[in-house]
Amino acid sequence: MKMSKVLMTGAIGLVSLGLAACGGGGSSSGSGSADAGSGATKVFKLAFNQTDQHPQYAAGVELGKRLEEVTDGRYSVKVYPNEQLGGQADVIQNLSNGTVELMWVGGPVLEGFNKDFVVFNLPYVFDSVDAQLAVLSDQEALDPLFTSIEDSKQITVLAGVNAGVRNVYNSKHAVRTPEDLNGLKIRVQQSDSQVRMIELMGAVASPMNNGETYSAMQTGVLDGAENNEVTWDALKHSEVAKYYSYTRHLIIPDYLLMSTKALDAMSQEDQAALMELLPEIQKIANDGFAAFTQESIDHATSIGAQFNDDVDVAAFKARVQPLVDESVNENDVRKGLYDLIQQANAANPAK
């Protein structure tokens, strides 16, 4: 079911939710169904590629608690951190066939299914985190994009959240200019735009799963990666790549995805109840991320990590501008999304 349809039925659904407790939730044969008559709870599996200390893990746990409450026990969520259910490429396939119901995923991954997602993953397009959050909260504007891979992949994007400001880190030296990246092998997310971005910035791109990155840096296969402070420290990359430089090249979202098959197997009332929870789940993830960032910086500092804020951001921005121009001008959908970002930038300038 398209999210726009779910939202339209939300008011009716919430009024009738109490009545639905006796019969809603669909047939027990559906991949996301719950047999209300038997009192069984359908527990959705939520795959996550980071640790149980991450704010998105906490947000997923809270989603499970609240979903169980608002559906009178018909549905809940169990979060599987640390790639317990596999790398993101494998989980995406399982999400598509319905054997996994939910996952947190990095924004660039979705470019493989609809290249228009690239607009939110481009370097230096968002002027501030507040601008990004303003765009991600505009459900009406984002609904066509978020439902665009339902037919082809049976995946619905439920919500986007802030995933921090991404910077470059490595085991060799501080990075101030693009020349400092020359020859360094840097891990990026598995998407064409991210590979092109890091190459334009001056490094050698090495796309791979998060779970493989620590050992690759430890053994010298990689020199470093690019990510926010939370992920860098939580995955212990701060132990093997201690030079963290504030290139501030990306403010990209993570997305909460759901198997469309599992979503469609829920009753309209339960779908509406799920959708009503999403703004608060977004807030939990976003607020937790901001607080956890400082904790990560403090811990990394305590083990000898070195932070460098003397970075020629303008030089990096100039290097990647061709990627932005080419991507945005590809079609009218991307131009519209880029215009949405610019409106948010004007209302939420960098501080």
Confirm if 217 and 235 have CB atoms less than 8 A apart: no
In terms of domains, do 21 and 40 share one? yes
**pLDDT of the residue at 97:** 95
CB 36 within 8 A of CB 44: no
Q: How far apart are the first and last CA of the chain?
A: 40
Is the residue at 346 inside a domain? Answer: no
What region does 104 belong to: left with phi over 0, alpha with psi -120 to 50, or beta?
beta
Entry pTM: 0.84
Do 28 and 74 share a domain, yes or no? yes
Question: 284 and 141: one domain?
Answer: yes
Q: Tell me whether residue 349 is in a domain.
A: no
- Segment holding 170, helix H or strand E: strand 166-170
Six token digits for residue 94: 């399982």
Q: In terms of domains, do 100 and 144 share one?
A: yes
Averaged over 296-314, what is the pLDDT? 97
Flag whether 151 is in a domain: yes
The yes-or-no verdict on residue 39 having pLDDT over 90 is: no
**73 and 115 in a common domain:** yes
Mean pLDDT, residues 136-144: 95
Q: Do 184 and 328 share a domain, yes or no? A: yes
**What integer pLDDT is reported at residue 17 of this predicted model?**
36
Computed on alpha carbons and rounded to an integer, the radius of gyration of the chain in Å comes to 21
Of residues 16 and 220, which shows the higher confidence score?
Answer: 220
**Higher per-residue confidence, 88 vs 196:** 196
**Calpha distance 13→18 (Å, rounded):** 9
Q: For the chain, give the percent of residues with pLDDT over 90.
A: 82
User: Does one domain contain both 115 and 240?
Assistant: no
**Per the structure block, which two tokens stand in for 150?**
């339902």
Where does 54-156 have alpha helices with state H?
A: 55-70, 88-97, 129-136, 139-146, 150-153
d(CA 4, CA 146): 10
In a domain, 347, yes or no: no
**In this structure, are 244 and 256 located in the same domain?**
no
39 within domain boundaries? yes
33 has pLDDT over 80:
no
85 & 186 share domain: no
How high is the pLDDT of residue 3?
56
Q: How confident is the model at residue 26 (pLDDT cuts 50, 70, 90)?
A: very low
Q: Residue 310: inside a domain, yes or no?
A: yes
- Residues 296, 104, 188: CA angle, nearest 5 degrees: 65
In a domain, 351, yes or no: no
Rounded CA separation 324/127 (Å): 14
Place of tokens 């608690």: 65
How many structural domains comprise the chain? 2
User: Domain range for residue 135?
Assistant: 3-162+252-292
In a domain, 348, yes or no: no
- What are the strands of the beta sheet with 102-106, ordered from one edge? 75-80, 42-47, 102-106, 253-259, 155-162
Q: Are residues 189 and 81 in the same domain?
A: no
> Is the same domain home to 124 and 52?
yes
Pick from 83-92, 242-251, 257-266: least confident: 83-92
Shared domain check, 151 and 33: yes
Res 204 pLDDT > 50: yes
What rounded mean pLDDT belongs to the chain?
90
CATH, residue 136: 3.40.190.170
* Average pLDDT rounded to a whole number, residues 59-72: 98
Yes or no: say if 260 and 194 are a contact pair by the CB < 8 Å rule.
Answer: no
